[in-house]
Amino acid sequence: MKAYVLDTNIILNDSGNIFKISQNGENKIILPETVIDEIDSKKSIKEEEIGYQAREFGRMLSESKLVGIEKKEDYVLTKFLIEGKIELEIISLNEYKSDKKGFDRSSLNDRKIIEAALFIKTNIYNEKDNEIIFLSIDVMCYIRAISMGLKAESLTYKKKDKVYEFFKVLKLETMPKEGENILFIDKDYKIENYSYKFIVGNKEEYALIVKGKIHLINVNDLNRSSIKPRNDEQVFALEGMLNKDLDIVLIDAIAGTGKTLIALSGAMRSVEKKQFDKIVYIRNSIESTDKGEDVGYLSGNEDKFMVYNFPLYDTLDFIVRRKKLKKKDTEKDIENKIEEMIGKYNIETMWVGSIRGRTITNAFVIIDEVQNFSRKSLKTVLSRLDDNSKAVCIGSNMQIDNPYVNKYTNGLSLLLDQMTVENKEVNVAAYSLKEVVRGKITEWAEKVL
């Protein structure tokens, strides 16, 4: 039997990881008491995913069966059975050597967790019968565990970055027609090829692939949006947002490419065309873990709207200054125009922590910073949308702020993987934004930092 000693981030990433790791009871789960302390400290966080996962684990533990307590001179081992088959043990040492060595507070808990894992390996379980494996998402903690003599695994270990081919350029003898099957044009077509630039002589034509059919893009029509697309990438992304046949659109973008701007522009145009009644903006604001517990829905330019949704508010401010500003307008006039725009397009904001139990109807839903969502939180949000809504998920793996996900386990990466496989439930598409439009400083920072 394998015995997995878990770091705190494994559970705060998704409490359901316990079931995956246990493999239906084939493997034992062991938690150092420091992990329990860290989880307990997070359960009061109402509006963030880590708080939810902490509470979910607490509920799981409260519903488990206590099957034994082993008390020795050096340790206490408390044994539980979850759902009648999963062995979970909590190890508590009477004394930690790490406490006496003056380690920095930021790393002390990691060292205590590893110390407990080493104690289990050395003093409790015979490795011939129980292979002890330390499991962590934190690469530094994983490396430290190895250096201290543990067998360790990381969720990032041996993972390779995938390269997605969402866009293709194809030179042809004749231009394809609207609705033509893409397989007749490109024998090497793959599911992830969502956008094409067809070139015939000196003529170019843009197209999306929707349900395996070619959908030609009318760039002149796109230019009627609040913000005109500034490059090929934005043309494809905006057209995907406006396409009524697409249920979920994913935008993988680096900083400064206009991802929030183009998403809001598409949302506003969709409301203008009466495809949806409202715009809902959802952002997992990692930095606000001590604020906004009961905010829920907000409209207008209230202080809370501005504090928690600066990307959205800045985008509205940019649109107003770009399209509706007069020379005599004051800053107060600009605020009023933003207020008018919020009312006109029925723009609402929602927090991840307040979304459970609600249903989002007939809405263009922008899910921003999707790289900061865990699998569980993203599932919670997407499962709130009814059949008359559309989801546009935007994010960048170069801007991960959530300490409990990484570039392989976050919502953006999970969605990117799904863009390469066929599914029958919904129509999806993905587009990349790599051309920086914010300015030369942003472009330089993305390149060198």
Residue type, 151: K
What structural domains and CATH numbers belong to the chain?
2-154 (3.40.50.1010), 159-216 (no CATH), 222-448 (3.40.50.300)
Least confident of 22-31, 82-91, 133-142, 326-335: 326-335
Q: What pLDDT sits at residue 21?
A: 92
Pairing of strands 203-210, 195-200: antiparallel
Q: How buried is 131 (Cβ within 10 angstroms: 0-12 exposed, 13-18 middle, 19+ buried)?
A: middle
Pairing of strands 75-82, 86-93: antiparallel
**CA-to-CA distance for 154 and 380, rounded, in angstroms?**
26
Length of the chain: 449
Q: How large a percentage of the chain has pLDDT more than 70? A: 88
Other residues' Cβ atoms within 10 Å of the Cβ of residue 21: 18
Over residues 140-168, mean pLDDT: 80
**Which pLDDT tens digit goes with each residue over 237-287?**
999 999 999 999 999 988 888 888 999 999 999 999 999 999 999 987 554
